[in-house]
């Protein structure tokens, strides 16, 4: 969330929020009470220790999101293993809210965006195990190249995709320990591109 949006949520000005985040001023009890009511882990804010297991998704549940926010359903890629491009009926890990305007600035239609939790280390260097990535389901054209969510023989996978001459696809893992995989034109019936990975959400290490 932007400092302005979070400040509005916490009933303080953007400047006050900036001072809190920069460590130039300590938040008051009423501020902590307000953000706690909105789902913020105040124990973590004060001590650095989470009151819920670290494996839990870090989301801020808003009871009444404003019209300027768009919900994005977040799926665990291991849980979302069904066939087909539709995610309807798949278990939703959580729902996060993003600024509709900011998504639009990135060329994303909120109605076409889903979040996927990355599993494994095959994309290390670009996406780490446990990262979340926003996927644009409306962009399934590998001519652009880039990182895509694919359905390969019934399994959802995230790979860097290149289209080769003759219509074959080259699936690349950014981790050098994994060999690239070529999908020949005659095997394309086993592959479906579900969307292009556009935005990474992950921890800084």
156 neighbors 86 (Cβ within 8 angstroms)? no
156 neighbors 194 (Cβ within 8 angstroms)? yes
**CATH number assigned to the domain with residue range 69-201, chosen from the 4 options 2.10.109.10, 3.40.50.720, 2.60.40.10, 3.40.50.2000:** 2.10.109.10
Q: Domain spans of the chain?
A: 3-47, 69-201
CA–chain centroid gap for 33, Å, is 28
Say what the pTM is.
Answer: 0.64
SS3 call for 32: helix
Tell me phi and psi for residue 47, to 5 degrees: -120, -15
101 neighbors 116 (Cβ within 8 angstroms)? no
pLDDT of residue 52: 54
**177 burial type by CB count under 10 A (0-12 exposed, 13-18 middle, 19+ buried):** exposed
In angstroms, rounded to a whole number, what is the distance separating the alpha carbons of residues 61 and 36?
11
Output the tens digit of pLDDT for each of the chain's 205 residues.
778 888 888 888 888 888 888 888 888 888 888 888 777 887 777 777 776 555 444 444 544 567 788 989 888 766 443 444 456 667 788 888 898 999 999 999 999 999 998 888 899 989 888 888 999 999 998 888 899 999 888 888 899 999 988 889 999 999 999 999 999 999 988 898 999 999 998 877 6
């Amino acid at each position: 969330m932007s400092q302005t949006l979070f400040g509005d949520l916490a009933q303080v000005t953007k400047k006050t929020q900036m001072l809190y985040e920069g460590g130039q001023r300590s938040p008051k009890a009423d501020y902590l009470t307000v953000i706690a009511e909105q789902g913020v882990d105040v124990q973590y804010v004060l001590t650095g220790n989470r009151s819920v297991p670290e494996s839990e998704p870090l989301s801020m549940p808003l009871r009444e999101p404003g019209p300027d926010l768009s919900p994005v359903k977040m799926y665990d890629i291991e849980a979302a293993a069904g066939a087909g491009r539709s995610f309807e009926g798949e278990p939703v890990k959580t729902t996060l809210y993003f600024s509709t305007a900011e998504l639009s600035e990135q060329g994303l239609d909120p109605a076409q965006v889903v979040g996927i939790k990355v599993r494994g280390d095959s994309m290390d260097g670009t996406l780490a195990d446990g990262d979340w990535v926003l996927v644009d389901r409306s962009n399934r054209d590998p001519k652009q190249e880039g990182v895509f969510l694919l359905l390969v023989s019934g399994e959802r996978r995230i790979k860097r995709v290149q289209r080769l001459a003759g219509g074959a696809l080259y699936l690349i893992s950014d981790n050098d320990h994994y060999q690239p995989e070529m999908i020949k034109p005659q095997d394309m019936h086993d592959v479906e591109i579900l969307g292009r990975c556009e935005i990474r959400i992950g921890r800084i290490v």
